[in-house]
A = this chain, B = another copy of it.
């Protein structure tokens, strides 16, 4: 069995959403599983001085156009959120709490959060919205709200994000296959080829 691939993403990243919709099926075709690892781009940007695409003059309006066009090109629904970007810390904490219990359910939860934000315009920066999303997967709202407030979960999250930055993760989506990094939903074709045939 080949090693799992690593899938880093920020919950506020539209290209992360696009990759999230495709990555598991892409990996499964090559007999691989995927480790989902949410990060916080805000923490990355403090290190490298970057800004969200939609806050860069000239790129801002193009970015929205490209996001919507790329989603349709990939056959995925999208509606740009009325509040964007959002802070992904609440769903990120909820994810890492869930992930220790049930990694499959944690991935379903992450995808449900992405869809809540990028299809249904729900503000997943709010813990109560995150809990409502979790409820649709049968997770008790009280329990996940407590988890998002837990010091232990906050600490786990901080360590996971720090470890990603230390590993060089600077964007979303960011996929690592056998040590080889690929940044962007537009690199999924290269990810597929790398899994299938290795280096070229």
Closest-by-CB residue of B relative to A57 is: B48
- Is A59 on the interface with B (CB-CB < 8 A)? yes
Copies in the assembly, this chain: 2
With an 8 Å Cβ cutoff, the count of chain A residues facing the other chain is 31
Which chain B residues border A48 with CB–CB below 8 Å?
Answer: 56-59
Q: Are A183 and B62 in contact (CB under 8 A)?
A: yes
Residue from the list B57, B171, B186 in contact with A186, Cβ < 8 A: B186
A67 → chain B closest CB, angstroms:
12
Across the interface, do B184 and A186 meet the contact criterion of CB distance under 8 Å? yes
CB–CB A190/B73 < 8 A: yes
How far is A58 from B189 in the complex, measured between Cα atoms in Å?
23
Residues of A that sit less than 8 Å from B by CB:
44, 47-50, 56-59, 61-62, 65-66, 69-70, 72-73, 165, 168, 170-171, 181-184, 186-187, 189-190, 193, 200
